[in-house]
Amino acid sequence: MITFENNPAIYDPSSEYCITLAATRSTLVDTDIYSRFIYSCENNFRKLDFYKGYKNNLMRMGFDRDQNMAGITSEMADIQLHHHFPTLKQAAIMITEHLLNTKGCTTTFEVVQHLENAHRNNWFSVIFLSQTQHEVFHSDPSNFISLKQCVGNGWKFIDKYIDGMTLDISFKLLLQLKMEEQYGESFSPNLVKAREQIKDWSLKNSNY
């Protein structure tokens, strides 16, 4: 395991900067570099044979239709996997922040490994949507999808990587919970606990 203390680096005597094998908080301070790092994590994960198998296995289990519009099947339209809670991007960010906070550095390969492990343990709330419905949802995030419509337990992911939470992600997750309440959804004791975790984290970090 690469840590901040044993992170290999290449130095140029004529430069004040160095190139490290693993990304650190200082190398990711630029927002463009950080965004490219997160995109690379997402993109590399989506290319894995494991991910393709994960989607195909769910579809073989019967999730072969739009779960919002059950009349639309995979024979009629392109049915796509939607990471709802958390999204794949939110997960990549939380894992990255978790690793930076706990050991000081990380790589895209390591983040992808964590994403794969989370999927193996079903730590995502996912749902299948037709391509059109998927695009509509992403164009207007205020569209509501209940967690009860999803497969998997995204709360397990939140609990595992709570120290990688960011204010932006905490606000979005709390908005989902608020909409769940508005639509009369009920929560199990575990979900209530996870909601309080997010609220506590958000309140403690709202001034930063």
108-163: pLDDT as tens digits: 999 999 999 999 999 999 999 999 889 888 888 677 888 888 999 998 999 899 88
Tell me the two tokens of residue 172. 């979005």
Tens of pLDDT, residues 68-81: 888 888 889 899 99
> How far, CA to CA in Å, does 18 sit from each of 34, 71, 100, 158?
17, 56, 18, 34
Q: How far apart are the first and last CA of the chain?
A: 31
Length of the chain: 208
The neighbouring-strand residues paired with 105 are: 24
- CA gap 171, 206 in Å, rounded: 10
Rounded distance, CA 92 to CA 94, Å?
6
Q: Please tell me whether the overall predicted TM-score, pTM, comes out greater than 0.85 for this model.
A: yes
Closest CA to 158 of 203, 81, 93, 82: 93
Question: What are the extents of the domains in the chain?
Answer: 9-205
